[in-house]
Copies of this chain bind each other. A is one copy, B any other.
Amino acid sequence: MTACVHDHSRWGTADQIGAANYLTVEKRLAALRSVKQGKIYDVSHVISMNAPYMAPNQTPFLLSMWASWKESIKRRRKMGFTNDAGSNVDRLEMTTHVGTHIDALGHFSSGDKLYNGNCAEEVVSNWGLDRLGIEHAPPMISRGIMLDVSRFDGGEFLEPGRVVTPDDLQRACDEARVKIESGDIVMIRTGWGRFFGVDNARYLHGEPGIDVPAAHWLTDREVVAIGTDNMAVEVLPNPDAGKSLPVHQYTLAEAGTYLIENLALEELARDRVYEFCFILLATKYRGATGCPVRPIAVI
C-alpha cells in the first residue's frame, strides 16, 4: 500500500462535499420552479427486516419494540399518573447502506486515500468517519433526470453483468429528450429493482450497471449524484475481473460524486417521467458512511 499523499479536489483542500458544490442556488430555484402539478413520486423502498444485505460487510436490518404502551402505562400508573398515556419506542440496528440509501464520500477509499487526499488511517476511527461523513452532505434540491435503460435489451430488465455504457446513457437521454447538465442528479433504471425484497438472493447475485467509462461520462457532465434501482450502481461482476467496485472507487474517492442505491423507479417509468425536481435530505448521523433516505421526485 502506498503511503497517503495529498492530491486535492478542485474545490480546495478543506472541501468535504465534492460534487455537491454543483448544487447552486440557481439550480435549486430552477428545480423548484419546474414543479407544475405538485405531484410527488416517492422513489424509495420501505426498509424492513426483509431488505437485502450483503454479508459479511453488511448486517441485517433489525427493528424491535424497545418499550411499549402496556408496560409504559403500568409504570406511569405506579408513579401516580392517571391518564394512561402509553408510549411505544422501537430500537433499530443496521449497517447504514440498507434500503434506499446514499453513500457518503468517505464510504470508499482508493488504497489508503479517501476523497480529496484524506488519509484513511487518520479519518476512519472505530466510531465513524472524522471527516467525509454523511452529516456533511448538504440538502439536495436540484434537477433530477431518470434514464430508463431497462428495456434496451428487448426485455423488462437488464441481466446481471450487463454493462450500461456511455452510449446507453446517451441513447436514454435522447429518448427522454433531456441533456445532462451541471448540478443534475441522475437516476438510471435497470429494471433490477423488481427483485428488491422479492428475490433477495437474485438481487444480490450480480447486477446490471455502469462501468467506469459511463461513470466518467456522468462526472464529465458534473452530476451531483448517480442513483440506480440496484445495490451497487455499477455492473457486477466487473468486466475487468481484476477490479472490485471500481465505480465506487472512482466516483466516491476520486470524483467526489455521490451514489444513491436501491431506488424505486417503477412509478416514474410507468408515467414516463424523466425530468423532475429531485429532493434528498440525508440524515446527519455523525461520522456515518451513508444513510437510508427517502428521496422524492416532484413534478
A interface residues with partner B (beta carbon < 8 Å): 1, 25-26, 28-29, 32-33, 35, 37-40, 42, 44-49, 56-60, 62-73, 76, 79-97, 99, 106-112, 114, 120-121, 124-129, 135, 138-139, 141, 241-246, 248-249, 253, 277, 279-290, 292-296, 298
Kindly list chain B residues whose C-beta atoms are within 8 Å of the C-beta of A79: 244
Q: A56-B49, A112-B69, A242-B81 are in contact. Are A88 and B124 (CB under 8 A)?
A: yes
Q: Can you give 8 contacting A-B residue pairs, CB < 8 Å?
A: A49-B56, A63-B285, A63-B287, A80-B241, A84-B109, A85-B249, A90-B287, A285-B292
From B44, B114, B289, give the contact of A284 (CB < 8 A). Answer: B44
Closest to A97 in B: B89
Q: A139-B294, A296-B139 are in contact. Are A244 and B67 (CB under 8 A)?
A: no
Copies of the polypeptide in the assembly:
4
Contact assessment for B126 and A65 in the assembled complex, using a CB-CB cutoff below 8 Å: yes
What are the 3 A-B residue pairs with the smallest beta carbon separation, nearest first?
A: A48-B286, A86-B109, A81-B244
Contact assessment for B57 and A59 in the assembled complex, using a CB-CB cutoff below 8 Å: no
Kindly list chain B residues whose C-beta atoms are within 8 Å of the C-beta of A141: 40, 279, 298
CA distance A47 to B106 in the complex (A): 17
From B1, B38, B72, give the contact of A25 (CB < 8 A). Answer: B38
Contact assessment for A38 and B32 in the assembled complex, using a CB-CB cutoff below 8 Å: yes
CA distance A90 to B104 in the complex (A): 11
Contact assessment for A73 and B111 in the assembled complex, using a CB-CB cutoff below 8 Å: yes
Output the least CB separation between A26 and chain B (Å).
Answer: 7
Contact assessment for A67 and B63 in the assembled complex, using a CB-CB cutoff below 8 Å: no
Closest to A280 in B: B281
From B45, B76, B108, B249, give the contact of A244 (CB < 8 A). Answer: B76
From B44, B62, B73, give the contact of A1 (CB < 8 A). Answer: B73
Output the least CB separation between A16 and chain B (Å).
Answer: 13
Most B CB within 10 A of own CB, among A33, A58, A141: A141
From B88, B108, B114, B126, give the contact of A64 (CB < 8 A). Answer: B126
CA distance A118 to B111 in the complex (A): 25
Kindly list chain B residues whose C-beta atoms are within 8 Å of the C-beta of A83: 110, 242-244, 246, 249
Contact assessment for A94 and B95 in the assembled complex, using a CB-CB cutoff below 8 Å: no
CA distance A45 to B135 in the complex (A): 10
Kindly list chain B residues whose C-beta atoms are within 8 Å of the C-beta of A69: 108-109, 112, 114, 120, 124
Kindly list chain B residues whose C-beta atoms are within 8 Å of the C-beta of A28: 38, 40
